[in-house]
Amino acid sequence: MTSRLQIIWNKRLVGTLDRHKKGRVVFQYSQDWIEKEASPVSLSLPCRKEKFAPAVSTAFFENLLPESNARTVLAFRNRFDKKDTYAFLENFGEDCAGALSIIPEDQEPDFTPGRYKNITQELIEALDRILLEPGRYKLYPEMKHAKLSLAGAQDKLPVYIKGTQFYLPKNSGSATTHIIKPINAGFPDIPRNEAFCMELAQRTGFSIPNSKIMKVGGHELYIVDRYDRQEINKEIVRIHQEDFCQAMGYPAERKYQETGGPGFIECRELIDEYLSNQGVINRLLFIRMMIFNYIIGNHDAHGKNFSILHKNGFELAPFYDLVSTQVYPLDNKFAMAIGRTFRLDRIKEHSFEVFARDMNVRPKLLASLLNEECKAVVNEVDALIAEHEKNYGEAKIYEDLNKIIKLNTVKLQSFFR
């Protein structure tokens, strides 16, 4: 175990991480990076020569890590404490979300592109184990060669895909291109759910990465393109990004507004300050996405499910992780309050009047956006269900999605008649 980690961005040293008490980390930019690049790894970590405090350093870097059961299993199998952020980054930080690679200081980075290991058979065997004992096995921990880190509570794995074959990078110079998610023990139809909701958003005018359902060894996987990767001259190039929680300095355990995380006001302020290069377009786009999430019944749209691309300035990243949670027997509470309530059954017309003030738009404009989004979704939903059933086979989830979407659009439109 080393006492310092290198932070690599575009094959250059951007800074270092030192271990602090209880597995927390302390970040510091390299002087060379400050003098020649001066690009921040996060809006919460502006370029400066001084070290950052453990709280703000750990908040950003911990948000790169898996959560929930995947984190527990990974820590157990690698024999370190699940709260040890430093140990996680040391073991799994070579290919994170965005452009950063995190490598032990005593390890020489290998930037040779195109070096991958075929893990197709290993992946099928892991999926077999998950199917037999879904509560015991998780996809990410089962892949022994993975040195990759993706945030979130869902079971998922970043991979490089070529044709029907799946690969993991052998070195820091080789990046992944896709994210795969298997079936979930509690929600076996969630791959179709997410693929449908993502494509529905794409068809109604949102910037959404391409996704699909793919069968591998008899298993159904949800596969989505990584928008933070781009192929240039046959090399996969990393594009830096950070989620809203990272940009605002919130730790991972505070991603929900109800537990102290960001709400719509904080998100709007972030957009207005850093993403207003197109006027109010990004703010209106964010409002439209709130409406879309209401329509599909996605109550889990928290601060980590919205991101900023560091690309020729700052851009609002494509939307992702769009899933209808309302189709499942869960507590129907939104991750961010609409008006002053999180509960679906308590949201009324006055809730949207408060929301309009929170987002600094006129109620009439919000009503117009709401009606336009409802019409756009209703115009697409039946044809998309038919297409999915043709491509992937009939499933009850499509009937459930259709019911929820049409129920929610009618309810939304009733608020503004």
DSSP symbol at 97: S
382 is annotated as an active-site residue = no
C-alpha–C-alpha distance, residues 63 and 252, integer Å = 5
Residue 6 near residue 205 (C-beta atoms within 8 A): no
For residue 33, count other CB atoms closer than 10 A to its CB: 18
Phi, psi angles (nearest 5°) of residue 211:
-145, 165
Instruction: Determine whether 218 is exposed, middle or buried from the number of CB atoms within 10 Å of its CB (0-12, 13-18, 19+).
Output: exposed
What tokens were used for 322?
């769009």
Q: Which of 84, 155, 189, 300 is catalytic?
A: 300
SS3 248: helix
Angle, CA 335 vertex, CA 138 and CA 295 arms, to 5°: 100
C-alpha–C-alpha distance, residues 34 and 30, integer Å = 6
Residue 246 near residue 59 (C-beta atoms within 8 A): yes
C-alpha–C-alpha distance, residues 218 and 223, integer Å = 15
Residue 219 near residue 127 (C-beta atoms within 8 A): yes
Burial state string for 346-360 with b = 16 or more CB within 10 A and e = fewer than 16: ebeeebbebbbebbe
Residues with catalytic function: 300
